[in-house]
Amino acid sequence: MTRECRQLCQPRPLGTRLLGAAILLAALLQPAAAQDIRGLEACVAEKQMERRTGCLQANVEFLQQALTKLGRETQEKINAAGRDLAAARAEIAELKSAIAKLSGELAQLKAKAEPNAKK
């Protein structure tokens, strides 16, 4: 083994491994940056309890309105998809009946052609 391999291949001391694990753990425990939501207010800056309560209530009302709007939009999309599905099913049924009709006509033509071919 070469000198570089001996230096790189030997296990590191326990202190070095613990230091690396501590740095990794500290990085994972860092608080994540809060995501701003357009329309929400930062209520922690308010010092008076009445203003903070009003701010929180405004945030709750905003979130309820946003949730109601999203629910309405989602329901509209579901209804539109249901209408599209019903139309597709009707078209499929129409095509199946057309295929059945054409198959019947083809069978009749084959039946007429067979006796003529024997003559």
For 76-113, the pLDDT digits (tens) are 999 999 999 999 999 999 999 999 999 999 999 999 98
Question: Is the model's pLDDT at 25 over the cut of 80?
Answer: no
The pair of structure tokens assigned to 40 is 């929400």
String of DSSP letters for 79-106: HHHHHHHHHHHHHHHHHHHHHHHHHHHH
Three-state SS for 2-26 is CHHHHHHHCCCCHHHHHHHHHHHHH
Query: Would you kindly state where each structural domain of the chain is located, as residue ranges?
Result: 38-119
Query: What does the pLDDT read at residue 51?
Result: 84
Quote the pLDDT of residue 1.
Answer: 46
pLDDT at residue 77 in the model = 97
pTM comes to 0.51
